[in-house]
């Protein structure tokens, strides 16, 4: 470790309200993927034959697993062109993906968001073609700070929060997969630091302030002590009420049973969003019914008596699962995703998952299980999903398999579902507002495009009015209404959300103590006045002013 030099402060985007300090461990997802020189033309025929033999066995499985990307006509055409020119498979893949990545990055916005997914698929293909293993991030030395150009979902999922003191990346945003995983795992993280990441030497001491968005290389003893100081807000494990006695459920967003353990430690009342997508990543076929059943039961056992809301498989858009062989479409966010895929085009995935859910609901801790459907845009979407659940229940009954019907709910993520909230609420037990997508669709602003940051702010009057309409209509329809987007985890917005009438707030586990403290300090009637003033505002600046003065009239 290099000591005795001045500390260096790098600015980025903090994605967790946590700090940590440790030794830098540089990680390059492209490491080991340098290609040998292409063979001479006379060896091309032999190379083609060898590649065909391999593709007929293990390599064929890899191409099948990533067909969603390779079926893109432009990428596939570039691979074919390179092969015709005499390049071996690994060079053809590298060239084809390089062109696609450059194009996506240059396009910005929605297209730029997919570059890390493309890189991850390219790297996995190259590793299989070159017979090289990826670096193992699951067993890093205690106190490691991972420093990387980028981290994909599969990379971040390997990190052990008991060992990793933080991570720093050159790219990324608050709603990137890596950021969401960092919050779920309780890992201090700063993203979007830029090219300065390359200047951090391996082994040097690094302090990561995930709240302020600062990375300090070679921190002083004072900064190290501050980074180790932990959080100021104590964890409260009991349910919370506002100062005037209104109960608000504060739950966690999780992606794995391991994250549920961390949520319990942070005082979560339950799980408001159990994402199943991570079960489908980093494998070549979907998880079985029993695998999913065991995962549901494990989480239910951790929250014995608490509510656990499982979102049925939500892939497509920014969450592609390559081996599912679903065409991305010209605009993935407006294409086949959520309920349009499962139970839509892939009813088999939905039925397998629902069987596991209904079986889990029949266990001793299963009373708290609830199931919600993503990206519901029409009454027909919801009716089809509910009908399919009932059909699965009938099938289990015919087989003599024990099951229980859980609470059912719909996610409100589109303007359509906000307008139809009353009709949706009449057909289910609850609604859950996903503010990440709702904001994106209401404002027509890509989530990770920094140029549109002002548009992708859930405090915008248009988004607040969509939330207000949903809560009111949901209650009129007899449903409870929660929120599971990133907005729910901002303690500075807790009073506003209480005032808007939310019954439940679900967030990354790491922010639960701060949000519970904010709810406990809120007077619900004063919060309603604050919400009324915010809803009357016409601009984001006006909403910010209302929140800054606490809703008091001038």
Confidence of residue 539 (pLDDT cuts 50, 70, 90): very high
Quick one: CA torsion of 523, 525, 526, 529, rounded to 10 degrees?
150
User: Across 347-419, where does the E strand assignment appear?
Assistant: 369-373, 407-412
Query: Which residues contact residue 195 at a Cβ distance below 8 angstroms, ignoring those fewer than 6 apart?
Result: 170
Quick one: CA torsion of 158, 164, 169, 173, rounded to 10 degrees?
80
Whether the Cβ atoms of residue 470 and residue 420 lie closer than 8 Å to each other = no
- Helices first, then strands: H and E counts in the chain: 23, 17
Indicate which residue of 128, 456, 460, 484 is catalytic: 484
Say whether pTM exceeds 0.85: no
Q: What are phi and psi of 216, to 5 degrees?
A: -115, 115
SS3 assignment, position 228: coil
Q: What are phi and psi of 52, to 5 degrees?
A: -65, -40
SS (H, E, C) 299-343: HHHHCCCCCEEEECCCCECCECCHHHCCCCCCCHHHCCCHHHHHH
> Picking from 82-86, 107-111, 466-470, which range would have the lowest pLDDT averaged per residue?
107-111
Whether the Cβ atoms of residue 530 and residue 546 lie closer than 8 Å to each other = yes
pLDDT tens-digit series, residues 339-360? 888 787 788 889 999 999 999 9
- Work out the average pLDDT over 78-87: 71
pLDDT tens-digit series, residues 363-421? 999 999 999 999 999 999 999 999 999 999 999 999 999 999 999 999 999 999 999 99
Return the pLDDT at 75. Answer: 67
Measured CA to CA, the distance from residue 401 to residue 405 in angstroms comes to 13
Confidence of residue 285 (pLDDT cuts 50, 70, 90): confident
Whether the Cβ atoms of residue 372 and residue 312 lie closer than 8 Å to each other = yes
Domain 243-548 superfamily per CATH: Phosphoenolpyruvate-binding domains (3.20.20.60)
* 237 annotated active-site: no
Find which of 110-124, 140-154, 170-184 is predicted with most confidence, using mean pLDDT. Answer: 140-154
Measured CA to CA, the distance from residue 357 to residue 309 in angstroms comes to 11
Measured CA to CA, the distance from residue 69 to residue 92 in angstroms comes to 14
Does residue 554 surpass a pLDDT of 70? no
Q: Percent of the chain at pLDDT above 90?
A: 51
Indicate which residue of 177, 237, 460, 475 is catalytic: 177
Smallest CA-to-CA distance from 257 within 363, 157, 162 is with: 157
* Mean predicted lDDT score pLDDT of the chain: 82
Measured CA to CA, the distance from residue 330 to residue 442 in angstroms comes to 20
Whether the Cβ atoms of residue 462 and residue 125 lie closer than 8 Å to each other = no
The CATH code that applies to domain 8-28+135-227 is 3.50.30.10
Confidence of residue 59 (pLDDT cuts 50, 70, 90): very low
Find which of 84-98, 120-134, 147-161, 206-220 is predicted with most confidence, using mean pLDDT. Answer: 206-220
* 484 annotated active-site: yes
Measured CA to CA, the distance from residue 64 to residue 70 in angstroms comes to 9
Each domain of the chain, given as residue ranges in start order, spans 8-28+135-227, 41-127, 243-548
Measured CA to CA, the distance from residue 279 to residue 291 in angstroms comes to 9
Q: Angle at Cα 477 formed by Cα 474 and Cα 483, nearest 5°? A: 20
Bridge partners of 319, per DSSP, are 316
Measured CA to CA, the distance from residue 89 to residue 45 in angstroms comes to 12
Measured CA to CA, the distance from residue 541 to residue 457 in angstroms comes to 11
- Work out the average pLDDT over 464-488: 97
β-pairing, 214-217 vs 240-241, is unpaired
């Amino acid at each position: 470790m290099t000591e005795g030099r001045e500390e260096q402060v790098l600015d980025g985007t903090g994605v967790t309200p946590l700090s940590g300090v440790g030794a830098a461990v540089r990680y390059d997802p492209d490491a080991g993927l340098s290609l040998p020189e292409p063979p001479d033309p006379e060896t091309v025929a032999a190379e083609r034959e060898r590649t065909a033999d391999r593709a007929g066995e293990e390599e064929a499985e890899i191409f099948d697993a990533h067909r969603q990307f390779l079926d893109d006509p432009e990428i596939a055409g570039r691979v074919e062109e390179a092969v015709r020119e005499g390049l071996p498979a690994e060079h053809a893949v590298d060239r084809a993906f390089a062109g696609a990545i450059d194009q996506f990055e240059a396009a910005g916005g929605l297209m730029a968001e997919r570059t890390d997914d493309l890189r991850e698929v390219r790297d996995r293909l190259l590793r299989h073609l070159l017979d090289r293993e990826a670096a193992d991030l699951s067993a890093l030395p205690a106190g490691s700070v991972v420093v990387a150009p980028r981290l994909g979902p599969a990379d971040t999922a390997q990190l052990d929060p008991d060992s990793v003191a933080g991570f720093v990346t050159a790219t990324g945003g608050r709603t990137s997969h890596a950021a969401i995983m960092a919050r779920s795992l309780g890992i201090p993280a700063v993203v979007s630091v830029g090219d300065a990441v390359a200047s951090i030497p391996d082994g040097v001491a690094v302090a990561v302030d995930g709240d302020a968005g600062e990375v300090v290389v070679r921190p002083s003893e004072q900064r190290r002590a501050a980074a180790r100081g932990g959080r100021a807000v104590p964890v409260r494990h009991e349910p919370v009420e506002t100062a005037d006695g209104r109960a608000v459920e504060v739950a966690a967003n999780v992606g794995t049973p391991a994250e549920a353990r961390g949520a319990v430690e942070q005082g979560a009342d339950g799980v408001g969003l159990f994402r199943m997508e991570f079960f489908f990543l980093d494998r070549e076929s979907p998880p079985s019914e029993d695998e999913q059943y065991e995962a549901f039961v494990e989480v239910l056992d951790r929250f014995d008596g608490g509510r656990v809301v499982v979102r049925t498989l939500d892939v497509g858009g920014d969450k592609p699962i390559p081996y599912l062989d679903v065409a991305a479409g010209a605009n993935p966010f407006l294409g086949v995703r959520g309920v349009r895929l499962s139970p839509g085009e892939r009813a088999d995935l939905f039925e397998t998952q629902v069987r596991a859910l209904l079986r889990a609901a029949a266990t001793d801790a299963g009373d708290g299980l609830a199931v919600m459907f993503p990206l519901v845009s029409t009454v027909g979407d919801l009716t089809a999903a509910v009908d399919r659940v009932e059909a699965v229940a009938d099938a289990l009954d015919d087989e003599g398999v024990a099951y229980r019907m859980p609470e059912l709910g719909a996610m409100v993520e589109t303007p359509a579902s906000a307008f139809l909230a009353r009709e949706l609420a009449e057909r289910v037990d609850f609604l859950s507002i996903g503010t990440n997508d709702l904001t994106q669709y209401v404002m027509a602003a890509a989530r990770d495009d920094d140029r549109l940051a002002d548009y992708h702010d859930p405090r915008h009057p248009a988004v607040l009015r969509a939330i207000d309409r949903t809560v009111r209509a949901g209650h009129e329809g007899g449903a409870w209404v929660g929120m599971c987007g990133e907005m729910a985890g901002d303690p500075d917005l807790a009073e506003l959300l209480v005032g808007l009438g939310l019954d439940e707030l679900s967030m990354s586990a790491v922010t639960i103590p701060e949000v519970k403290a904010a709810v406990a300090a809120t007077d619900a009637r004063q919060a309603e006045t604050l919400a009324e003033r915010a809803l009357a505002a016409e601009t984001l600046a006006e909403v910010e002013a209302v929140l800054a003065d606490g809703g008091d009239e001038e």
